[in-house]
């Protein structure tokens, strides 16, 4: 995927490009988790203002994260025919360019995994043929650490919102039936495009994440951007040490719109590969998604109808990446639309 032949160049015309209007003056909230008293307020403010923040002193071993990233680099460095043996993504496995099942494409290749240990073990045989046990144990250990971090962040959110009990949100991800996924993304460099037009090549088109929160980490190649509520785009400075946290649609519903699920996108770089590893924390399929009663002020109406995560997920996975998925579930939406 690095050396582009004429057919690959032809494919570029199918992938969106754009000249982004980027806002350089807004800085992304960076929250130090070693100071929990201050962090609770800062996390809530970041979720309200941006739906996005980064955390440091998060407790996830950098050695572990680097080891898993190295495995991802190894896998994505295999020949296309070798990688294809770990596909297609129905629902888990290796995918290239196609994102989801509804016609979205980007300058990306990825591995999508369930967080269920049994399914991780099965997938490891296709992804790391030479040493599946090493891959399985790295993914399992990494997921354990990132889940722990996600639970901590959800408790800080509960503290900041004065939600009682403070495990109200974390139990949704901790539940054995929680419906979470894990994704390893690779955005190969694309020098041809930069040279041809100076435009940016879309790796992952703009979208919101449907789950509760997404917790990710990337290498030091830039590309991730978030949309501010007024619509301008801000680049997220990449680094190896922090984790980024994305408010998903489900958390927007549970906070009755106080938190906004943030629109984000990724551009491919002209010269360097970007790698990212993201845990998407979703609730059990049968969980009802509705505004948390203790957050509702007297007389406040729910912005959304009552629905389960299963219903939302089914609808989301039928949608295109850039669709406003929640609009179908607004209290004012026409029934059956």
Ligand X SMILES: O=C(O)CCC(=O)C(=O)O
Ligand Y SMILES: C=C1C[C@]23C[C@@]1(O)CC[C@H]2[C@@]12CC[C@H](O)[C@@](C)(C(=O)O1)[C@H]2[C@@H]3C(=O)O
**Minimum distance between the CB of residue 168 and ligand X, rounded to whole angstroms?**
25
The Cα–Cα gap between 158 and 140 comes to 27
The Cα–Cα gap between 70 and 85 comes to 20
Q: Does position 135 bind ligand Y by CB under 6 A?
A: no
Q: Does position 104 bind ligand Y by CB under 6 A?
A: yes
Q: Does position 185 bind ligand X by CB under 6 A?
A: yes
Q: Does position 204 bind ligand X by CB under 6 A?
A: yes
Nearer to ligand Y, 162 or 317 (CB): 317
Q: Does position 218 bind ligand X by CB under 6 A?
A: yes
78-87 in b/e form (b: 16+ CB < 10 A) is eeeeebeebb
Residues 160-199 that bind ligand Y (CB under 6 A): 181, 183
CA torsion, ordered 174, 180, 181, 182, to nearest 10 deg: -20
Nearer to ligand X, 160 or 238 (CB): 238
Selecting among 183, 217, 265, 274, the annotated active-site residue is 274
CA angle, 163 as apex, 295 and 330 as ends, to 5°? 35
The Cα–Cα gap between 76 and 219 comes to 14
Q: What is the DSSP code (8-state) at residue 101?
A: T
Give Cβ neighbours of residue 31 (< 8 Å, ≥ 6 apart). 39, 42, 43, 46, 53, 54, 55, 56
Q: Give the residue closest to ligand Y by C-beta.
A: 100
The Cα–Cα gap between 145 and 243 comes to 12
Residues 309-328 that bind ligand Y (CB under 6 A): 316-317, 319-321
Nearer to ligand Y, 192 or 323 (CB): 323
Q: Does position 263 bind ligand Y by CB under 6 A?
A: no
Q: Which helix (H) or strand (E) holds 186?
A: strand 181-187
Whether 274 sits among the annotated catalytic residues: the reply is yes
Instruction: Pull the structure tokens for residue 253.
Output: 């519903």
Contact 136, 121 (CB under 8 A): yes
Q: Does position 224 bind ligand X by CB under 6 A?
A: yes
Nearer to ligand Y, 275 or 280 (CB): 280
Nearer to ligand X, 251 or 278 (CB): 278
- Site residues for Fe ion per CB under 5 A: 209
Select from 170, 260, 264, 313 the one that contacts ligand X (CB under 6 A).
264
CA torsion, ordered 164, 170, 173, 175, to nearest 10 deg: -70
**Minimum distance between the CB of residue 193 and ligand Y, rounded to whole angstroms?**
22
**Minimum distance between the CB of residue 34 and Fe ion, rounded to whole angstroms?**
27
**Minimum distance between the CB of residue 53 and ligand X, rounded to whole angstroms?**
14
Nearer to ligand Y, 119 or 296 (CB): 119
Instruction: Pull the structure tokens for residue 177.
Output: 């039936």
Nearer to ligand X, 253 or 278 (CB): 278
The label of the residue with tokens 């389960």 reads 308
Write the binding mask 277 to 316 for ligand X: x where contact by CB under 6 A, - elsewhere. Answer: -x--------------------------------------
From 14-22, 53-61, 66-74, 216-224, span contacting ligand X (CB under 6 A): 216-224
Q: Does position 208 bind ligand X by CB under 6 A?
A: no
Contact 180, 144 (CB under 8 A): no
Give Cβ neighbours of residue 210 (< 8 Å, ≥ 6 apart). 248, 249, 250, 282, 312, 313, 316, 325
Q: Which residues are catalytic?
A: 274
Which positions lie near ligand X, rule CB under 6 A? Answer: 183, 185, 204, 209, 216, 218, 224, 264, 266, 276, 278
Residues of the shown chain interacting with ligand Y in the complex, contacts defined by CB under 6 A:
99-100, 102, 104, 112, 181, 183, 207, 209-210, 280, 316-317, 319-321
């Amino acid at each position: 995927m690095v050396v582009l032949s004429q057919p690959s160049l032809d494919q570029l015309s199918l992938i969106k490009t754009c000249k982004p209007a980027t806002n350089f003056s807004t800085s992304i909230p960076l929250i130090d988790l070693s100071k929990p008293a201050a962090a609770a307020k800062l996390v809530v403010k970041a979720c309200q203002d941006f739906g996005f923040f980064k955390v440091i002193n998060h407790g996830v071993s950098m050695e572990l994260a680097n080891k898993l990233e190295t495995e991802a680099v190894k896998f994505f460095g295999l020949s296309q025919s070798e990688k294809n043996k770990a596909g297609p993504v129905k629902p888990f496995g290796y995918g290239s360019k196609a994102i989801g099942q509804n016609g979205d494409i980007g300058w990306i290749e990825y591995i999508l995994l369930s967080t269920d240990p049994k399914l991780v073990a099965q997938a490891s045989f296709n992804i790391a043929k030479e040493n599946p046990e090493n891959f399985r144990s790295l993914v399992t250990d990494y997921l354990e650490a990132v889940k722990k971090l996600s639970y901590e962040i959800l408790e800080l959110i509960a503290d900041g919102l004065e939600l009682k009990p403070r495990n109200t949100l974390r139990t949704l991800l901790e539940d054995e039936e929680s419906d979470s996924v894990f994704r390893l993304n690779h955005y190969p460099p694309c020098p041809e495009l930069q040279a041809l037009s100076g435009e940016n090549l879309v790796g992952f088109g703009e979208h919101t994440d449907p789950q509760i929160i997404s917790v990710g980490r990337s290498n030091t190649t830039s590309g991730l951007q978030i949309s501010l509520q007024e619509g301008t785009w801000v680049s997220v400075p990449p680094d190896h040490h922090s984790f980024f946290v994305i408010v998903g649609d489900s958390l927007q519903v549970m906070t009755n719109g106080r938190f906004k699920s943030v629109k984000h996108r990724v551009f491919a770089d002209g010269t360097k590969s970007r790698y990212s590893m993201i845990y998407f924390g979703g609730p059990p399929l049968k969980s009802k998604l509705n505004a948390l009663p203790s957050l509702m002020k007297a007389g406040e109406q729910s912005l959304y109808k009552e629905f389960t995560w299963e219903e939302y997920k089914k609808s989301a996975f039928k949608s295109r990446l850039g669709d406003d998925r929640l609009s179908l579930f607004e209290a004012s939406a026409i029934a059956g639309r």
